[in-house]
A = this chain, B = another copy of it.
Amino acid sequence: MTQPDTLRGIGESASLARIFPRLPSSDYAIVGPGDDSAVMSAPDSRFVVTTDMMIHGPDFRLAWSSPQDLGWKAAASNLADVAAMGARPTALVVAIAAPADSPVSLLEGIADGLRDACAALAPGCGVVGGDLSVSATLTIAVTAFGDLDGRAPVLRSGARPGDVVAVSGVLGRAAAGLRLLFEHGVKNETPDATATAALRAAEPALVAAQLAPEPPIGDGVLAALGGATAMLDLSDGLALDARRLATASGVAVDLSSAAVGDRESLDGGEDHSLLATFPAGTALPGGFRAIGAVVAGSGVLVDGQPYDERGGWDPYEQWSGAAG
């Protein structure tokens, strides 16, 4: 029986040669991968940049996520941070560190996920550079870029009393998927691939919402064009991220429980939906729907009552240390 090729077995150069052809190219690349640096076009004379790491253990489990899922989620979560500025994503650079005995197919799958996410969520965006390292812990670090097309960036700090609070994208679905994975994707309290396959068959949409979310990337530009006064991406949960927007803007955000839905929609993280505020009377663009109002004060209210639950996921406090 043939053993699969591993990073240690075929080495860095041969591994990169297997990965490169699978990566999406960027419409904005002047010099792509292969030199000391890439050279990117920045037609606006500014660029937007964000970076985020995914770590085996606190951020994902290999028994739950396919390699494609990992590449998809690494791209999607960073693209959402670009979109949340009202920018059009142009490119990613991707650094991956993997155990030396990892099969090369793991890296190929991650590359396929990066490619598929760019094609589906941000056409024209591609990978312009990267780095491949060995590590005891599988780690994916993505830095994403965007272009503002001449517009002002949409910051967290521009919400004003009287504005409508709106969201584009799902609420609480990624958290529901994670809850299902902890409940049914384990065997003897350990993440388990066989149990996860059965769960995926039974609950494909919720599991996919956690493992390969589909944030409404194009709605970032539409929000900016539509007059958004503030915006951010919902990575840690609606309540927690709405509080960040409220604090940055010096206002309070009053959410409607009827519009938001259940408690998981209020507290669940990792949907990477877009939360934005618009002047009252604005025709909400794209997939945005009203879920509340900006009022004078501070913090988050639900139906006018202060809501002080933290919500969200804090790996510093909650990660057991197990990788799975």
Please list 11 pairs of residues, one from A and one from B, whose beta carbons are closer than 8 Å in the complex, sorted by A's number: A11-B314, A36-B156, A36-B232, A37-B146, A49-B128, A51-B141, A53-B97, A57-B136, A134-B316, A137-B139, A143-B143
Binds B, one of A80-88, A115-123, A287-295: A80-88
A228 CB → nearest B CB, Å: 13
Give this chain's copy count.
Answer: 2
Q: Assess whether B39 is in contact with A42, with CB atoms less than 8 Å apart.
A: no
Q: Residue A315 at the B interface, CB < 8 A?
A: yes
Q: Assess whether A141 is in contact with B316, with CB atoms less than 8 Å apart.
A: no
Q: Which 10 A-B pairs have the closest CB atoms?
A: A141-B141, A42-B42, A37-B50, A137-B137, A36-B84, A143-B143, A36-B81, A51-B93, A55-B135, A53-B95
Scoring A residues 58 to 91 as 1 if CB is less than 8 Å from chain B, else 0, what string do you get?
1100000000000000000000111011010001
Q: Residue A129 at the B interface, CB < 8 A?
A: yes
B residues in contact with A8, CB < 8 Å: 316-317
B residues in contact with A133, CB < 8 Å: 53, 55, 58-59, 315
Q: Assess whether B100 is in contact with A136, with CB atoms less than 8 Å apart.
A: no
A25 CB → nearest B CB, Å: 15
Q: Residue A43 at the B interface, CB < 8 A?
A: yes
Q: Residue A148 at the B interface, CB < 8 A?
A: yes
Q: Residue A167 at the B interface, CB < 8 A?
A: no
Q: Closest B residue to A128 by CB, please name it.
A: B49
B residues in contact with A35, CB < 8 Å: 85, 153, 155-156, 232, 248
Assuming the A-B contacts A45-B43, A53-B139, are A84 and B156 also in contact, with contact meaning beta carbons closer than 8 angstroms in the complex?
no
B residues in contact with A259, CB < 8 Å: none
Q: Assess whether A129 is in contact with B51, with CB atoms less than 8 Å apart.
A: yes
